[in-house]
Structure 1
């Protein structure tokens, strides 16, 4: 596989990072004005995340750092890692304005162990909307295990792979018109399981409120089945400690079919029990002797 996906995807995120930082949806001004403010994503995660005070953590694919800073405000000693230099410029600016002690490192996620060192972290945090940008979930799991100290913990919340197979969702992502006659229910039209070749989309929009017109449109993306994620972690010496499927997701993934809740999450308006929209998976790196 070539590295074309990295070049294309990095160009997209480099262009969108300043627009995201300026958008009210990322609430950058609130972070600056309120030292106790947390991102909606981390607030949702808190009940399962628990007490992370004193832990050394790394946030993989951290983007502009709002979730990373939120984790630091909960007491973890955080490092953020991302391949987008433009995103990290915004993240570093925000840490300076908020006086938050977070380090940010520019690196592809697969190179994280080389960039940060092996077995250095108590916590690996991967936020929602990250795994679709990587082609191999096995390689990702190897990276997670390599970063963690024995007994260290992975916390992953991600869009559910069943949501990603919805043809309505992918129509939005690729700029195609949604079938207006099928707004009553999502339909399955894209791979559930990881495949070698990427899904290629051309999209001039983004998921936050902005007036910016983008020129970097093409992205390469992959889906990873839930069983594939679990198996990859087990294969690399991780023990699964929790798996919860959620009926909500932090963006309007299926326009015309969703309602926004008070916590900022979106759920299906009708019969939300039909489709899991996100999941939280937790795992620990095994101690010496496989304990």
Structure 2
């Protein structure tokens, strides 16, 4: 296992129980209300459409709140993640809600080895996932390998223009970080997570990468996927630029000033030929 995997896994293993206990992940609401969906999946619904009866896999599923939400929409879901602590929480939540979800521990780059090839109608990747991967090409190859012919990829992700903005500046938008995929990782050292938690992190160092929108599209085309939709959004489900954003009633964060200046996220859909 390379250093980036070790560092990032340690960080996500530590985040998992903190996130499961955080009010922002709404675990108890899933238990109390069988109709409850995550805010992320509620945002996705207009573009996601009817997924009832589909066999789906959620890559980089973390503690499974989005995976569970997709199952509640009628899909037969599998969740995959490299963090055993995250999968412990995901399995516990599925058990508490009486939901049949298979969870598989694997690096996403080995997803097509850990799961049956060509078996899925839907590959779903939630927001804030691709930034942890050094190569979008390897990710796209695994997505293609998992999908049936005619199967669909659905991804909502942070926009690469947003990832290029210096989040430490609260006085304006400064493009200070790479937009295009880069060999060396961005190294972060942060004891805080993106949601409210009860304790600081101890495994604070993580590695991340950006991937340009053209690079993502080109990688999917290379592996036999046809782009069916690309929508850019003016919101994202966490305070990505502290001090410069406000939160709406659905949990989405927007720029306070000049929201038309910067796309914050995008939804991409593609179908395997």
Is the TM value for this pair above 0.5? Answer: yes
Quote the Cα distance in structure 2 between the aligned partners of 1:152 and 1:54: 13
Tell me how far apart the structure 2 counterparts of residues 242 and 216 of structure 1 sit (CA, whole Å).
38
Deviations 1:33-68 (A, max 9, x none): 000000000000000000000000000000000000
Give the corresponding residue for 1:49.
48
Structure 1, unaligned runs of 5 or more: 172-177, 287-291
Question: Following TM superposition, by how much is the alpha carbon of 1:211 offset from its aligned partner in structure 2, in angstroms?
Answer: 2.1
> What does the per-residue CA deviation read over 1:103-135, in whole Å, with 9 as the maximum and x for residues that have no partner?
100000010111011101000000000000000
* 2: CA distance, partners of 1:137 / 1:144: 10
Distance 2:265 2:200 in 1: 29
What is the alpha-carbon distance in structure 1 between the residues aligned to residue 177 and residue 77 of structure 2?
36
Aligned equivalents of 1:224, 1:45: Cα separation in 2: 22
Match of 2:209 in 1: 222
Question: Does 2:139 match 1:152?
Answer: no
Structure 2: unaligned runs, 5 residues or longer: none
2:31 is matched with 32
- Moved beyond 2 Å, runs of 4+: none
1:141-290 to 2 correspondences below 5 Å? 141-167=140-166, 169=167, 171=168, 178=169, 183=171, 185-286=172-273
Identify the range of structure 1 (245-254 vs 210-219) with the bigger mean alpha-carbon deviation: 210-219
**RMSD, matched Cα:** 0.8
| TM value normalised by structure 2 | 0.99
Count of matched residue positions in the alignment of Structure 1 and Structure 2: 273
Q: Distance in 2 between matches of 1:212 and 1:103?
A: 30
SS of 1:248's equivalent? coil
TM-score (norm 1): 0.93
Larger deviation: 195-204 or 30-39? 195-204
Q: State whether structure 2 residue 82 is matched by structure 1 residue 83.
A: yes
Q: Secondary structure at the match of 1:47?
A: helix
Q: Deviations over 1:3-42 (max 9, x none)?
A: 1100000000000100000000000000000000000000
